[in-house]
Amino acid sequence: MKYINQEQVQSKMNRRLVKNNIFKTLFALATMFGIVVLAILIIRVLTQGLAWIDMDFITGKLSTSADRAGIMGAILGTLWLMIVVIPVTLILGVATAIYLELYAPKGKFQAIIQTNIANLAGVPSIVYGLLGLTVFVRAMDLGNVVLAGGLTLSLLVLPIVIVASQEAIRAVPQHLSEASFGMGATKWQTVKNIVLPASLPGILTGSILALSRAIGETAPLTVIGIPALLIPFPGGIFDTFTIMPMQIYYWTIDSSLVSEYANLAAATIVVLLVMLFILNSIAVIIRNKFQQRY
């Protein structure tokens, strides 16, 4: 006796296939929605801004006159910011991840820290701005300089770097570190020679993605009070600075006064997007190049 009746199967076949197609279309539409919106955005920005991008725009100083305005100051501001953010987040983030994954006793203490890091990753960025304003700008009396902004952004992306590094470290197969311990290696020797090299691609990928988040952040720096005025180019971490997203913000607001400012904002967006695109490509290249097989 058979349980599956061929006739019944046949009679339901069409309905099943139709349903299958409906869902396929639904999922495809959902994907299309995102792609179309993104495409519209990019096309609009490109058509509006591309014509304004030339060497003078990239290397020029800020100016109230739309024809002469350049964004070198903002680009340098972003670069100086990165010079603070990269070492601070990498050193603190990776060290924290190593400690939590490999040294901290597994228990309540570790669980509490872990939960807090996860929560910190969800705190709105403007709150970090307030923290930065209170601690770095005022209490430490740094003023609204690169260092203060960089430390603030570091705090902001630190949870992301920690979590990404932890995941990368956890993905290193246990049997590799066992082999190392089995030969009498200390924990530090094992971390340095086996765990870190194997998790480096993951750590770097996560860190670069976190950095590109930091580059695009505006809210915390607004709170810190960085200017978008005609300031001189920043030459070090103790100089005041401005950044591209900030420039975009002010130019957009002021476009009601000078309509060309909207085009400058679009042009700046293009430059910013190109920078982010390059960073993300580097992340992908690193991931593919250094990925190891276990």
Partner 1 sequence: MSLKTASKPIFTNYTEETFPNKNVVYDTKDLNLWYGETHALKDINLSIYEKEVTAIIGPSGCGKSTYIKTLNRMVELVPTVRTTGSITYNGMSILDKKFKVEDLRTRVGMVFQKPNPFPKSIYDNVAYGPKIHGIRNKKILDEIVEKSLRGASIWEEVKDRLKENAYGLSGGQQQRLCIARCLAIEPDVILMDEPTSALDPKSTLRIEELVQELKKDYSIIIVTHNMQQAARISDRTAFFLNGEVVEFDQTDTIFTKPADSRTEDYISGRFG
∠ CA 111-117-123, rounded to 5°: 140
Q: How far is the CB of 164 from partner 1 (least distance, A)?
A: 20
Minimum distance from residue 57 beta carbon to partner 1 (Å): 47
CA 147 to chain centre: 19
What are 240's strand-pairing partners?
145
Q: Does the footprint of partner 1 cover residue 179 (CB under 8 A)?
A: yes
Q: Of the two residues 2 and 293, which places its CB atom closer to partner 1 in the complex?
A: 293
Residue 1 interacts with partner 1 (CB under 8 A): yes or no: no
Q: What angle, rounded to 10 degrees, do the helices at 146-170 and 108-120 form?
A: 130
Q: What share of the chain is helix, strand, coil (3-state, %, to 5)?
A: 75, 0, 25
Q: What does the DSSP 8-state code read for residue 259?
A: T
In the three-class reduction of DSSP (H, G, I as helix; E, B as strand; rest coil), residue 240 is classed as strand
Q: Give the range of 47-55, 183-191, 240-248, 281-289 binding partner 1 by CB under 8 A.
A: 183-191
Given candidates 184, 256, 257, 289, which one binds partner 1 under the rule CB under 8 A? 184
Binding status of residue 12 toward partner 1 by CB under 8 A: no
Distance CA 244, CA 221 (A): 11
In the list 81, 94, 168, 194, the residue contacting partner 1 (rule: CB under 8 A) is 194
Distance of CA 14 to the CA centre of its chain: 47
Name which of residues 84 to 113 contact partner 1 (CB under 8 A).
105-106
Task: Name which position in 11, 63, 186, 288 contacts partner 1 (CB under 8 A).
Answer: 186
**Site residues, partner 1 (CB under 8 A):** 105-106, 173, 175-176, 178-186, 189, 193-194, 197-198, 292-294
